[in-house]
């Protein structure tokens, strides 16, 4: 069979393609607006002078070494740690919600419906003593789902999404491997159809072979569900694979930001150059 | 018939507690009645019995009781167990009030783990002894966090527990202290009554008061309050049907205790509510 | 016909801070325009910044100065200094890039790698798959490899996967960095055909071809690039 590019001509292509709307409509409107956020525990410890805009469907990587303030920034962005100064605003439909000016109830509701948080250690993000099915169903139950059969159907569907054998639905995560636990945690977060997911070193504690699987899974899920992600990682290979763009943190400040491959292939800031040149080539 | 006691024991204030403490508890109860199902903290007093024996219930009763009241005390439905007898005698001595074993005659019924079979009437008060008032405690050890969960009606985790029940047992296996939603707002632990009694909480004409002595919490169901037992649409709340008839009165309607009566393991079922059972026996004898 | 890509006064200087400050001027005052349906070949000795120029056009390297204007469906955009979202959107819809090397992602099969650009544009999966398979056949990749991750493939196979991926969809602007470098004569010929087809379909192509035969076969015009001290000029 011979491929002819005739069907790839602009006219013909329009029958196959979704019209290019990347920068128009819903996607053109920011999802998260961060203005001069500062949370310090000591001089240059924590994060400061952080401002950026996140758009729907964007995967933003926060990279930098330990102690650079990545995790503090993530906590502040995700509603877990009020900033000393500055504002985090989230667009919920047509309304802008000031995260820390909003009530606790609104913030929590947001955290368990439109947002997700994938912890580095799945023990922190899962209920270890209840079954995988209940772990997945909890967000739905919190939103009022009251049909056991449908909750199970949904749990089974999500186990499939994260490549966990359906037969394990009634087992507790205590009996799961580290990689399975992490995949279960991902399912538990995504079941509510969040628009924005925070991830703190999601592959941090895992073996390399297990990491690859999680990364592949995350890549596909991000695309399939059109998620916006803010990802903290110190692993630049993970950042390259998952992130559309990067912010490089050093001593509580963003020192450089830009397109992921541009930051990694043509770093401008001396610190980024050091960081990138320190990667071992395999 | 109600037993009339002698005058109160000298040297004690009426109903043991000093008037200031009673007023404090009554204030707590008023708040509890005003916010059905909400746990009100109170400054629990030392009572002359150990925690776990009904110190919460006894303080509630002490703060409410008047010389005109008639008190019934039951433990697992029975009027004649040590705990029930001791508490009844306690109030007879320190308050000089009348006591009874008849549900219909009582103005206040203090109870551990049951609601009487005989339907309650307007004007009656149920006082429940509560060991652990917090329905969320099993999953959340932090008091600050459970208070927040209540404040935000963030109760998804209660259904996680029921979901797990179905996973493990094929049905909701929680038999005691079956959680309820009160007045469409607060989730409440009804104390360790069997879930058989849960429907009696709903729209009860009697006032229901709950006292937890060790945990120092009060909560309440005002009369005619909507009380819904939590469940799933496809696994609706159901009460266990009695497995047998009562060996004494023949009732097939009441909540039964199972007794092993001999070394061969012979089992008998008898009414847990002794007053109800005896009343049925008397009625049968009278009819015969 | 109007140009689709207009480069003017483009400069690139690398400033390396590690291990000590080093300044390397690679490109200076590069200007050219590319039109739909033509192939502009960057030529000149190695070290004159041909690959660097392609990478800047793709947004992979930052321009140090000058302007790169790209005509999209929605109008002209300035790529130099553009927001990452703009660059990503341009990469999704307008700018295609074939490098010499395939970036292998663990566990992702050859077929999935190839289908990805089409799926990103919203092709139905069946349509994308049929097209990907046809390309694999045409590029002579044995069927048993299709569902394997290309990490273990030979250099030539990986490069053909990369090429198949790039020719899955129509690119208004296609950047080619030695697409035929490690291919045998037969496969090189197929790639040249694909390039001709893309030109015929209206792609504006900017490419680097070390192989003179390939260059002569596809080039519409040459952009001759000299050492950094000299001026690049279009012939």
DSSP of A183-220, one letter per residue?
Answer: HHHHHHHHTT--SEEEEESTTTTS-HHHHHHHHHHHHH
Give the total residue count for chain A: 282
What are the two backbone dihedrals, phi and then psi, of residue B24, each rounded to the nearest 5 degrees?
A: -60, -45
Query: Nearest residue of A to residue C15 by CA position?
Result: A268
Whether there are 3 or more C-beta pairs closer than 8 Å between B and C is no
Side-chain-side CA neighbours of C229 within 13 Å: the count stands at 0
Side-chain-side CA neighbours of A159 within 13 Å: the count stands at 22
**Residue B71 to residue A99: CA distance in whole angstroms:** 54
CA-nearest of A25, A15, A4, A61 to A228 is: A61
CA-nearest of B138, B132, B139 to B192 is: B132
* ipTM for this prediction: 0.89
As a whole-number percent, the residues of chain C with pLDDT over 70 amount to 96
As a whole-number percent, the residues of chain B with pLDDT over 90 amount to 81
- Whether the model clears a pTM of 0.90, i.e. scores above it, the answer is no
Integer angstrom CA distances of residue A261 from A130, A157, A203: 41, 34, 20
B8: Cβ–Cβ under 8 A, 6 or more apart, which residues? B14, B93, B94, B95, B96
Give residue for tokens 């819903």: A26
| For residue C19, cis peptide bond before it (omega within 30 degrees of 0) | yes
In DSSP terms, B110 is beta-bridged to: B73, B127
Q: CB-based contact (8 Å) between B51 and chain A?
A: no
pLDDT (tens digit, 9 = 90+) per residue, A266-276?
999 999 999 99
Are B264 and B250 contacting, i.e. CB atoms less than 8 angstroms apart? no
Give Cα A240 distance to the centre of its chain. 14
- Residues 162-191 (B) with a CB less than 8 A from some CB of A: 163-164, 166-167
- Return the H-helix or E-strand segment holding C30: strand C22-34
Side-chain-side CA neighbours of C128 within 13 Å: the count stands at 19
Q: How far apart are the first and last CA of chain C?
A: 20
Query: Nearest residue of B to residue A169 by CA position?
Result: B167
At residue C73, the pLDDT reads 86
Give Cα A28 distance to the centre of its chain. 19
pLDDT (tens digit, 9 = 90+) per residue, B136-174?
998 888 999 999 999 999 898 999 999 999 999 999 988
Q: For residue C187, is pLDDT > 70?
A: yes
Are B41 and B27 contacting, i.e. CB atoms less than 8 angstroms apart? no
Are B249 and B277 contacting, i.e. CB atoms less than 8 angstroms apart? yes
pLDDT (tens digit, 9 = 90+) per residue, A19-69?
334 445 777 899 999 999 999 999 999 999 999 999 999 999 999 988 999
Burial group, residue C165, by CB count within 10 angstroms (0-12, 13-18, 19+): buried
Counts of helices then strands in chain A (DSSP H, E): 11, 10
A8, A11, A222, A245: best mutation site toward chain C, by most C Cβ within 10 Å? A8
Give residue for tokens 């985090």: A88
CA-nearest of B38, B25, B46 to B149 is: B38
Task: Measure CB to CB from residue A149 to each of B139, B157, B234 and give the nearest one.
Answer: B234
CA-nearest of C209, C135, C202, C123 to C166 is: C135
The side-by-side arrangement of strands in the sheet containing C22-34 is: C22-34, C5-16, C65-72, C75-78
pLDDT (tens digit, 9 = 90+) per residue, A83-107?
999 999 999 988 999 999 998 888 9
**Is B246 an active-site residue?**
yes
CA-nearest of A104, A52, A49, A47 to A80 is: A104
Are B228 and B51 contacting, i.e. CB atoms less than 8 angstroms apart? no
pLDDT (tens digit, 9 = 90+) per residue, A214-248?
888 898 899 888 899 999 998 998 999 999 999 99
The two structure tokens encoding residue A102 = 């909003």
The two structure tokens encoding residue B276 = 């109800």
**Residue C94 to residue C170: CA distance in whole angstroms:** 8
The confidence band for A280, taking pLDDT boundaries of 50, 70 and 90, is: low
**Residue A57 to residue A261: CA distance in whole angstroms:** 18
Q: What is the CA radius of gyration of chain B?
A: 19
Task: Measure CB to CB from residue B167 to each of A108, A127, A170 and give the nearest one.
Answer: A170
**Residue A84 to residue B206: CA distance in whole angstroms:** 52
CA-nearest of B231, B262, B221, B268 to B247 is: B268
Number of A/C CB contacts below 8 angstroms equals: 110
**Residue C173 to residue B178: CA distance in whole angstroms:** 67
Min Cα–Cα distance to chain A from C213, Å: 23
At residue B7, the pLDDT reads 62
- Return the H-helix or E-strand segment holding B212: strand B207-212
What are the two backbone dihedrals, phi and then psi, of residue B284, each rounded to the nearest 5 degrees?
A: -65, -45
């Amino acid at each position: 069979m011979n491929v002819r590019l005739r069907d790839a001509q602009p006219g013909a292509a329009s029958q196959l393609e979704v019209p290019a709307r990347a920068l128009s409509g819903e996607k053109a409107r920011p999802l998260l607006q961060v203005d001069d956020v500062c949370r310090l525990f000591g001089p240059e410890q924590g994060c400061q002078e952080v401002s950026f805009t996140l758009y729907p469907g964007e995967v933003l990587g926060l990279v930098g070494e330990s102690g650079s303030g990545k995790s503090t920034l993530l906590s502040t962005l995700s509603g877990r740690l009020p900033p000393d100064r500055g504002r985090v605003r989230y667009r919920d439909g047509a309304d802008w919600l000031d995260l820390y000016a909003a009530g606790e109830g609104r913030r929590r509701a947001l955290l368990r419906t439109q947002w997700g948080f994938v912890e580095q250690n799945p023990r922190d993000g899962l209920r270890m003593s209840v079954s995988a099915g209940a772990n997945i169903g909890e967000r739905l139950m919190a939103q009022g789902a009251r049909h056991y059969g449908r909750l199970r159907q949904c749990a089974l569907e999500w186990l499939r999404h994260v490549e966990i054998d359906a037969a394990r639905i009634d087992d507790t995560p205590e009996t799961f491997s580290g990689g399975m636990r992490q995949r279960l945690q991902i399912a538990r977060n995504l079941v509510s159809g969040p628009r924005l997911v925070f991830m703190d070193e999601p592959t941090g504690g895992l073996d390399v072979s297990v990491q690859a699987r999680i990364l592949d899974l995350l890549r596909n899920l991000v695309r399939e569900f059109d998620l916006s992600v803010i990802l903290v990682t110190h692993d630049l290979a993970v950042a390259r694979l998952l992130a559309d763009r990067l912010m490089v943190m050093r001593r509580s400040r963003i020192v450089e930001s830009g397109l992921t491959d541009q930051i990694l292939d043509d770093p401008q800031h001396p610190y980024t150059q050091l960081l990138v040149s320190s990667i071992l080539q395999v | 018939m109600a037993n009339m006691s002698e005058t109160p024991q000298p040297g004690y204030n009426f109903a043991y507690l000093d008037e200031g403490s009673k007023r404090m508890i009554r204030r707590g109860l008023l708040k509890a009645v005003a916010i059905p199902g909400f746990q009100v903290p109170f400054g629990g007093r030392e009572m002359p019995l150990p925690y776990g024996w009904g110190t919460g219930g006894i303080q509630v009763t002490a703060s409410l009781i008047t010389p005109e009241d008639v008190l019934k005390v039951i433990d697992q439905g029975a009027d004649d167990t040590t705990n029930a007898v001791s508490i009844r005698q306690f109030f007879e001595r320190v308050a000089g009030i009348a006591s009874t074993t008849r549900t219909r005659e009582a103005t206040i019924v203090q109870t551990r783990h049951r609601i009487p079979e005989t339907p309650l009437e307007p004007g009656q008060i149920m006082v429940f002894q509560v060991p652990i008032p917090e329905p969320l405690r099993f999953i959340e050890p932090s008091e600050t966090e459970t208070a927040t969960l209540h404040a935000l009606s963030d109760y998804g985790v209660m259904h996680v527990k029921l979901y797990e029940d179905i996973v493990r047992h094929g049905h909701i296996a929680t038999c005691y202290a079956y959680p309820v939603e009160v007045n469409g707002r607060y989730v409440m632990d009804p104390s360790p009554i069997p879930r058989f009694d849960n429907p009696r909480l709903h729209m009860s004409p009697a006032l229901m008061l709950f006292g937890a002595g060790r945990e120092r919490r009060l909560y309440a169901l005002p009369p005619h309050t909507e009380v819904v037992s939590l469940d799933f649409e496809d696994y609706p709340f159901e009460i266990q049907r009695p497995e047998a008839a009562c060996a004494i009165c023949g009732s097939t309607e009441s909540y039964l205790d199972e007794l092993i009566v001999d070394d061969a393991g012979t089992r008998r079922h008898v009414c847990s509510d002794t007053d109800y059972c005896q009343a049925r026996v008397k009625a049968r004898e009278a009819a015969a | 016909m109007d140009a689709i890509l207009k480069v003017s006064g483009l400069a690139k200087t690398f400033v390396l801070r590690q291990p000590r400050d080093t300044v390397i001027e690679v490109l200076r005052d590069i200007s050219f325009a590319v039109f739909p349906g033509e192939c502009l070949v960057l030529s000149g000795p190695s070290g004159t910044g041909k690959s660097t120029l392609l990478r800047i056009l793709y947004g992979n390297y930052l321009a140090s100065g000058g302007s790169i204007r790209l005509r999209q469906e929605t109008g002209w955009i300035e790529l130099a200094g553009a927001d990452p979202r703009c660059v990503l959107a341009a990469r999704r819809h307008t700018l295609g890039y074939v490098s010499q090397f395939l970036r292998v992602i663990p566990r992702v099969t050859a077929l999935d790698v190839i289908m990805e650009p089409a799926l990103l544009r919203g092709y139905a999966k069946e349509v994308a798959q049929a097209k990907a398979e046809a390309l694999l056949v045409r590029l002579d990749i044995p069927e048993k490899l299709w569902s394997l991750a290309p990490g273990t493939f030979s250099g030539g196979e990986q490069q053909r996967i990369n090429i198949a991926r790039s020719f899955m969809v129509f690119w208004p602007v296609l950047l080619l960095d030695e697409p035929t470098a490690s291919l045998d004569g037969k496969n090189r010929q197929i790639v040249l055909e694909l390039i001709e087809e893309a030109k015929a379909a209206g792609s504006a192509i900017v490419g680097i071809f070390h192989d003179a035969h390939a260059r002569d076969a596809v080039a519409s015009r040459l952009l001759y690039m000299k050492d950094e001290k000299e001026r690049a000029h279009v012939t």
